[in-house]
């Protein structure tokens, strides 16, 4: 049972409201970069849009989804009211105030610095303070997830921790630790310059600190999607979870391997030695282990559901799957997008191949396929699954949901596949305008126009998604019954210490992070000639 539905709905509705704004900004960026117009020539407007779009989609939207999702799953799986309700609301309002504090200076053109905080560009201090407030608000959630689990374990000594809570707390701890990198960059590098205490900045150190957050944040975004794979989909399609143990191991390994990999984003940066770049490349490959565990476990779970429905044969069981079930459809589409995005990521993580696509549209295509594609489509599935239990009303129009999911998939393919090709042609990212009259420009123009079409399809899909949720609030009231999770084939009775808590894995996560980041950070701190003049966006403070 969800005891605090208003708290969960507040997080979800704020998340989906800002998501709607970000989608419109994204489509506008596609249009302004295309040759379809000749009258928009203000590059600053483009970069304001990129900053707002990236800040919302990178920090605000997924953080709010994870928080709302976490509060709901904590109460349902532990069967206890949330401990620390007032603190949870305080965290929510911190995020509201922080988002407004960051959005206003961006709208005024004082912070067109991109959401990646890449110095020596430095904007107005209020933007950074707003982002810090968003992070602090989310840390309240991290603490509350740990506290609620501890309270439950004290009341249930030795009992297996419910898998949904085990995974939710793993995601919370991952976020709590990975956010330390960006927070350190903001507090100790950028804010002193933005507030006027210094006019120079150690750009290399700042970028290394941001890389601490930069890639592990993707796995924080992924956690709700993976939790849905394991705990929602098998139940929703009438099956069983193949293995509770493999699920716990997968989340634990994500916690460990997601952290020490971010420097592979700095392959072209001279401040970091090649040894650590190679080390991070290797650890990036290790993330494939929990990913493959998940793919295997979920495919096995789906096959169980099909066999229970009468599916037969080596491949004939695929036909017997409930393809009209939105959860089944969302899972399949998410896996396809995850496969394409993961394949592109192999190029990004390779120490040798990365140079062929570095800083091109290929990179943009990769992370949009992973986040906006594989992850966001599962955020839709989570909302569709939870909404009747939050509103006490039934979502009746499944055809609209299926249409919305298909449109999102098609739009994402049309948007990102041309970007991959453009990246191979060498088209740089983060550019407001391109010279389409240059040799080869007509080919690049075609890819950008296709991305405009893809973006338009995504806008329609997002509008349908919001329509479904809004209509549900006015639908006929009906008791949806108790919310349940997927049952594993073998219920856990006694779990080893390592899989019934996260202490061991948090220790490994911290140790590996220090090993992989400690030396580069200390080295950059000791470089006295590493500071460069700050480039102020929007004027000096």
- Active-site residue set: 215, 219, 366-368, 429-430
d(CA 302, CA 300): 5
Helix (H) or strand (E) holding 532: strand 532-533
Cβ contacts of residue 446 below 8 Å, gap of 6+? 418
- Residue 44, SS3 per DSSP: helix
d(CA 463, CA 411): 13
Beta strands in 117-240 (DSSP E): 121-122, 200-201
The answer to whether residues 486 and 232 touch, using CB atoms and an 8 Å cutoff, is: yes
Q: What is the four-CA torsion angle of 117, 119, 125, 131, rounded to 10 degrees?
A: 10
β-pair type (121-122, 535-536): parallel
Which structure tokens are listed for 453?
């079409």
Would you call the peptide bond into 120 cis, given omega within 30 degrees of 0 as the criterion?
A: yes
The answer to whether residues 316 and 394 touch, using CB atoms and an 8 Å cutoff, is: no
By CB neighbour count within 10 A (0-12 exposed, 13-18 middle, 19+ buried), where does 394 fall?
Answer: middle
- Residue 535, SS3 per DSSP: strand
Place of tokens 């090993």: 515
The answer to whether residues 357 and 363 touch, using CB atoms and an 8 Å cutoff, is: yes
User: In Å, what is the CA distance from 399 to each residue of 274, 297, 463?
Assistant: 52, 28, 15
User: In Å, what is the CA distance from 360 to each residue of 29, 278, 420, 424, 518?
Assistant: 16, 21, 9, 8, 29
The answer to whether residues 253 and 223 touch, using CB atoms and an 8 Å cutoff, is: no
Q: Where are the alpha helices (DSSP H) in 57-160?
A: 61-78, 85-107, 125-155
Which DSSP string corresponds to 378-434? Answer: HHHHHHHHHHHHHHSB----HHHHHHHHHHHHHHHHHHHHHHHHHHHTT-BSS-S--
The answer to whether residues 510 and 86 touch, using CB atoms and an 8 Å cutoff, is: no
Q: DSSP character for 42?
A: -
Whats the size of the chain, residue-wise?
541
Cα atoms in the 13 Å half-sphere on the side-chain side of 499: 15
Cα atoms in the 13 Å half-sphere on the side-chain side of 345: 22
Which structure tokens are listed for 184?
């350190």
């Amino acid at each position: 049972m969800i005891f605090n539905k208003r708290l969960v709905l507040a997080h979800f509705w704020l998340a989906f409201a800002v998501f709607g704004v970000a989608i419109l900004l994204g489509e506008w960026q596609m249009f302004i970069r295309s040759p379809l117009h000749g009258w928009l020539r203000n590059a600053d407007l483009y970069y304001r849009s990129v900053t707002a779009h990236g800040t919302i989609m990178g920090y605000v939207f997924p953080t709010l989804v994870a928080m709302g999702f976490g509060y709901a799953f904590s109460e349902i799986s532990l069967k206890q009211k949330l401990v620390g309700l007032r603190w949870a609301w305080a965290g929510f309002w911190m995020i509201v105030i922080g988002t407004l504090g960051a959005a206003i200076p961006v709208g005024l053109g004082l912070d067109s610095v991109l959401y990646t905080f890449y110095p020596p560009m430095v904007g107005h201090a209020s933007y950074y303070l707003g982002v810090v407030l968003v992070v602090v608000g989310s840390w309240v959630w991290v603490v509350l997830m740990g506290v609620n689990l501890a309270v439950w374990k004290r009341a249930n000594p030795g009992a297996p921790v419910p898998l949904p809570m085990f995974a939710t707390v793993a995601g919370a701890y991952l976020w709590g630790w990975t956010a330390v990198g960006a927070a350190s960059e903001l507090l100790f590098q950028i804010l002193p310059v933005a507030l006027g205490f210094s006019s120079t900045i150690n750009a290399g150190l700042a970028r290394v600190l941001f890389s601490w957050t930069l890639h592990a944040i993707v796995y924080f975004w992924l956690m709700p999607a993976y939790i849905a794979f394991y705990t929602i989909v098998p139940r929703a399609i009438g099956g069983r979870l193949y293995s509770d143990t493999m699920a716990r191991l997968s989340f634990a390994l994500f916690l460990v391997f997601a952290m020490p990999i971010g420097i592979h984003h700095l392959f072209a940066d001279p401040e970091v030695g090649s040894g650590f770049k190679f080390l991070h490349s290797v650890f990036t490959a290790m993330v494939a282990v929990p990913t493959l565990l998940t793919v295997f476990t979920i495919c096995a779970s789906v096959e169980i559901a099909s066999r229970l429905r009468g599916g037969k044969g080596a491949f004939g069981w695929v036909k017997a799957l409930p393809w009209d079930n939105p959860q089944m459809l969302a899972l399949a589409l998410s896996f396809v997008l995850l496969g394409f995005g993961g394949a592109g990521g192999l190029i990004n993580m390779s120490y040798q191949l990365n140079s062929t696509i570095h800083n091109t549209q290929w990179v943009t295509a990769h992370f949009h396929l992973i986040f906006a594609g594989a992850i966001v489509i599962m955020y839709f599935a989570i909302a569709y699954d939870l909404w009747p239990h939050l509103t006490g009303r039934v979502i009746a129009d499944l055809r609209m949901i299926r249409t919305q999911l298909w449109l999102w998939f098609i739009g994402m393919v049309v948007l990102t596949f041309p970007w991959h090709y453009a990246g191979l042609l060498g088209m740089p990212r983060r550019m407001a305008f391109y010279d389409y009259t240059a040799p080869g420009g007509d080919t690049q123009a075609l890819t950008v126009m296709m991305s405009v079409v893809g973006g338009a399809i995504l806008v329609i899909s997002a509008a349908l998604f919001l329509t479904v949720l809004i209509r549900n609030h006015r639908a006929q009231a009906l008791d949806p019954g108790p919310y349940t999770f997927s049952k594993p084939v073998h219920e856990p009775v006694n779990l080893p210490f390592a899989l019934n808590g996260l202490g061991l894995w948090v220790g490994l996560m911290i140790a590996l992070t220090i090993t992989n980041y400690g030396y580069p950070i200390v080295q950059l701190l000791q470089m006295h000639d590493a500071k460069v003049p700050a480039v102020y966006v929007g004027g000096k403070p």
